[in-house]
Amino acid sequence: MGSKYSEIREKLNFVIDRKTTDDLAHLTHYLQNSKNGISKYYKPTAKAYLESIKRDLELDEKLNLRDLVPKEWDVPFPTPTRTKFKFIDLFAGIGGLRLAFQNNGGKSVFSSEWDPFAKKTYETNFGEVPFGDITQISESNIPDHDILVGGFPCQPFSIAGVSKKNSLGRQHGFLDKTQGTLFFDIARIIERKRPKAFMLENVKNLVSHDKGRTFKIINETLESLEYSVHAKVMDARNYVPQHRERIIIVGYDKKIYGGKEGFKFPEPKQIELSIGTILEPKVLEKYTLSDKLWTYLQDYKKKHQAKGNGFGFGLTNLNGVSRTLSARYYKDGAEILIPQGTENPRRLTPRECARLQGFPDNFQIPVSDNQGYKQFGNSVAVPLMQAIAKNVVKNL
């Protein structure tokens, strides 16, 4: 078999789309962990999958999993040769948090992401297909790990009478309040696997959602699991040229550290950043707004200004930082428009969006522009997350 990951991917005809099952996740997770005890979590399904495709792909009947383990991981961001700790990547998106922890010496031993387009980008860059819907994965099938990492979506929390049990959970105590939300899945995994630490990321509005009750439940849930909790809203503008506030929640196992881990969030760098530094010198004409769209955006802004609010497009000062990049950027690019003199303004290119989030230029974008916009809008500012991850790891 081929000695490179790319050759194995081609030989086994990896296709990552809406029809992709967790079989590929088992196989690629096995390849990433073939030489450690974690392989036992993935080997049975990976082996069965290999046997099932041999005939269709005309593979040698004697081919086994060991033959597939690549000698060279020719992907942009392979796992470091020497690692200091193990982590899992939940609600992984395109891997922004994985980059942050991998760059601090970590090895991901499990990843999960439901969106097929994000899975494709993740696999292209890391050589691993994330598992699908975390609500359908038992915590007993997740390897032991030192740090749990997740940028979980925030759904409304219901405190009152939750009668329907989660198919994989247990309805008792603190978990009773978070049933039916994706945070519940983080809680049940923490309860079962007892990582030394965790780091969670969410939008700033999580703090004020439902008059603060949502965040109160999250905090109480994590403390009920006997973890000390540190939380702070941080702005990425000190790390990338973008105003992007996020709530970061870090926790340490009290049974190990006794609440004396001494964790502190990093002090923001006092530097002036400008969006002009991340722009490409030449971009295609398609990124310039049409006359029709530009007229619509100007009229829309005037209408709302007359009502006394600030809704409307954002024409960016190239010597300053931009507004927050959102997942809706693909629709019209209105929140971050780049001025072009007498021409209509343009939207950012997907590569510029990647740079705005602090992704290195060798990060591959194997999807359409629209999907790229969604993916980077949903992702994290990598340099900020990496700075926080450094402090999380320091206290292990």
In three-state secondary structure terms, 6 is helix
Q: How far apart are CA 220 and CA 226, in angstroms?
A: 10
Q: Which residues make beta-bridge pairs with 337? A: 315, 347
Go through 362-378 and write b for each residue having 16 or more CB atoms within 10 A of its CB, e for each that does not.
ebebebebebbbbbbbb
Angle, vertex CA 110, rays to CA 104 and CA 112, nearest 5: 110
Question: Residue 110: beta bridge partners?
Answer: 88
The Cα–Cα gap between 87 and 198 comes to 9
Classify residue 226 by its DSSP letter.
T
Write the CB contacts of 386 (distance below 8 Å, at least 6 apart in sequence): 99, 100, 103, 104
Q: List the Cα angle 354/360/366 in 5-degree steps.
A: 60
**Where is 239: in which H helix or E strand?**
none
Q: Which residue stretches of 267-338 are H helix?
A: 291-306, 329-332
Angle CA 158–162–165, to nearest 5: 125
- Burial of residue 309 (CB within 10 Å: 0-12, 13-18, 19+) is exposed
End-to-end CA distance of the chain: 39
The H or E element that residue 375 is part of is: helix 369-378
Helix, strand, or coil (residue 103) = coil
Active site residue 154: yes
- Active-site residue, selected from the candidate residues 1, 53, 63, 154: 154
Instruction: Yes or no: say if 337 and 325 are a contact pair by the CB < 8 Å rule.
Output: no
Among 346, 334, 356, which Cα is nearest to 286's?
Answer: 346
116-136 burial, b if ≥16 CB within 10 A, otherwise e?
Answer: ebbbbbbbbbbbbbbbbebbe
Q: Which residues are catalytic?
A: 154
